[in-house]
Amino acid sequence: MYTLIIVLIVIAAILLTFLVLVQNSKGGGLAAGFSSSNQIMGVRKTTDFLEKATWGLVIAMVVLAIGSVAFRPKAVASSNESELKEKVQQVQDEPQQAPAAPFSAPQTAPAAPAAPEKK
């Protein structure tokens, strides 16, 4: 079921892409390219159809995306996850040791400055 919903989302996305590309931002778009459809439906009806189809596909994609959460496959705990939990439990069960003294560098005498070279 989850796969079906994902396929429907992909199909809706492809159709939405085509609808947006067909539309003209100034109202021409599909209606401007087909003069015969202008005589049958009219320019205004074509742009109304494209706008309603766009909104319908957007709403369908949102509903399908939210609905896909209900059908997503359940995650199975992996062996890595259980090993990590065991290690955390072991660290928590071990008695805590006193912190070690901070590392300090050995004290050495500064090096003698080199004698200037004579030319």
Structure tokens at 45: 């009806």
pLDDT digits (tens, 9 = 90+) for 2-24: 889 999 999 999 999 998 888 77
pLDDT digits (tens, 9 = 90+) for 65-102: 999 888 887 765 555 667 778 888 887 777 666 666 66
Q: For the ranges 31-45, 55-69, 78-92, which has the lowest average pLDDT?
A: 31-45
More confident residue, 56 or 31: 56
- Three-class DSSP category at 108: coil
In angstroms and rounded to an integer, the radius of gyration of the C-alpha atoms of the chain is 35
How far apart are the C-alpha atoms of 87 and 1, rounded to whole Å? 38
The domain segmentation of the chain, as residue ranges, is 2-17+36-71
How far apart are the C-alpha atoms of 9 and 52, rounded to whole Å? 18
Q: In the predicted model, is pLDDT for residue 1 greater than 70?
A: yes
